Structure 1
Amino acid sequence: MPIRPHMPKKVLILGGGVGGVVAAKRIAERTRGRADVEITLISDTDYYLLPPLLVNIALGDISPQQAMLPLSRFAYRGVKTVKATVKKIDPDNRTVETDQGKFQYDYLIASLGTDFDFKSYNLAAGNHNYTLDGALKFKEALANFHGGSVVVYTPEPVYRCGVYPFEIVGQLDAIFRKRGIRDKVDITLIHPFQRPIQPLGPEAVKITEETFAAKNIRYIGGVTQPGPVDEKTKTVTVGSEKVKYDLLVVVPPSRLPKPFEGTPLTAQFPNGTWTAINVLTGRSIKYDDVYLPGEHSMPAIGLPTAGVPVHFTAMASANMVAGEILGEPVDPAQINAMTCAMDYGEFGMMFNCDIKLDLANNKAAWMGSCYSILKSPLGKLIKDLFYKTWLATTI
């Protein structure tokens, strides 16, 4: 009887963002020299870009190159990288279809972020820093702005980086003051939360409201009937009110990435259609060989669509995959605390939220357990150092 050749375990990782690079690095570290593993990372770019630094690009603080790392660096870890766009995921046949062909896997880790919805509410009419191209256009619009009404429009509560709208108004205030035009500018933030930054609790609300009052930033909260942007009249409709703008900054709602649409990896939740995972491990609810530690899973388990929870969930998923390949006991080491670092323009603020995993209900509970650990100009430096250090060590 012929001996079948030994085949390496194929680990396919989709997405070159936070979740993908964290998972690839972790699995490579744990299995190298200990197991026969073929790790392939598929990304639609050949670089990793740290999303929080897009705002720094838009504000002119750094160049795009300072926010990027080439994914080719993974080669020394034994990780193969492929530049391709994921088209379809077929978990029943362990196949992923891309514009560069089909890929098979023994384990799949998919972390594809979220799609940004600029079509609803005609948000394409505004400026944003949710893509590199958007950040560069936003930078140009700021350079050409010399006064008038600035409106930051957040129509829905599920979007990337929950603290961003509250940060950007403070950052714009600081920039306009440095340019000597603040007295010629009105700043308004439109948001679904009744009070600013409400999920972080009363302390964060108090600090933010006091900051907005001191900076003369108008807050229109509790928006339940968001309306469209009218480019001709340069207005945003909010209920019965039309808010005029000269410079519009938009925060697009997050949506399920297209490769997941129509697949059994998703489920309907009160806040939308998202990929369904186990809160402890990031494993798909339906497929033992599929892990989904991306922003597309966070709303389903009660975590924000942001890098920190994706990072920890990707670590948990990677630990599970590596442990199973090595035949070792597995401790996912999922998130138990989440620190939010915020830049309000003239000072930085850091809040910590203790997280309790409710395994019975498959949720991560954190609202109501957030508290300030720093409010100081030093906070801006700490946030800056955190991102630069993370970028320098992530691959």
Structure 2
Amino acid sequence: MRKKHFLLEEETTFMNHGAFGCALKDALHVSQKWQLYIERQPLRFFDRELFPHLVFVTKRLAEFVGCSPTDLVLVPNVTMAMNIIVRSQDLKAGDTVFMLGETYGAVKKLLRQVCAEQGAILQEEWLEYPLTGPGQIIRKVEETLRPGTRLAVFDHIPSKSVFINPLEEIIGICRQRGTKVLIDGAHALGVLDLNLSSLDADYYTSNCHKWFCSPKGCAFMFVKPEHQHSLRPLIISHGYGFGFNSEYIWTGLKDYTAILALHTVLDFWESVGVQRIRGYIKGLLTQAVDLLVGRWKTGLLAPREMFGSMVCVRLPESLQEDSAANYEHAETIQNALYSRYNIEVPVKALAGSLYVRVSVHIYNELEQYQELADAVEEMMSKEIQRVGGNCRCDV
């Protein structure tokens, strides 16, 4: 799979697909062909050919994620979609916006800034790790979400802790409290079966360039019909005033080729088989967990069944800090794994402990996780020390 469908270099042990994804080779080639084609006659493409292509690929993607194409628009990334949705909320002084501590860092900054501008209250609630199960998250929301909260923001799969949130139950609680729901599904497309029409979230957005493996610069934003009229695009252009879809199709000249290459990505998933791909990822994740937990004699951040294509495995005790682990210590170990062993995998400081956040995709194999296990065990015998206030790993 790696050699045939991806451009990943063989010398790197790559287990960090969750960071920026990795484009399918064929899809990247298609986007490059579109770039060359556009320049042969730019006006013909942008004025006469682009629109029906965008409509057609939007219909295909909408079918894949289970919603009407009139409720979905294509945008460059989830960050833009989150900005569009949050900045369109008509918040008043004293209104409350709810989020969990696991919310993605950039989204936290967005929510803090918007709430500060509009005088709203940002309520942040933290979970206790390790998680015992989905019920722990459901209870936290049930106990802390106050009736009348204007907006609640949840990650479908949080970037750092990577468990799958029990959205059906969480959204049900929000409905009872009269709260609109925004789901950041950056890591969900490709990993989970999505049926946005039945999920009942008010807003949902996901990246196509992560687990779905499209070229960079492609994501989608789903909005329930009753909220579309109140959404304000960040960029006002020629489509403004002509309805939800029109306002986001043309926001000035940009590179549309990642979107046009979505056909190739969808063809790949359909031809290989969605369930076959997910089955491979699930099976390899199970093997990787058994291997790492068994070798290191540690555990997971949450029960195994709460993870999809990524998992947080606790590092061995000898690599943990005497006091609570922090970002600096995590970076030291992550950089040592890369510089010494050419292993690309993130290390996260969560609830005072260090975890590796392991990604699994179809180009990964069990031998790569054995390499990680070996490298960490070798590091356990080396000295990790601080020099002049900076961390250094003597390996």
TM-score, normalised with respect to structure 2: 0.30
Q: Which has the higher contact order (CA 8 A, sep 6+)?
A: 2
Structure with greater strand percent? 1
TM-score, normalised with respect to structure 1: 0.30
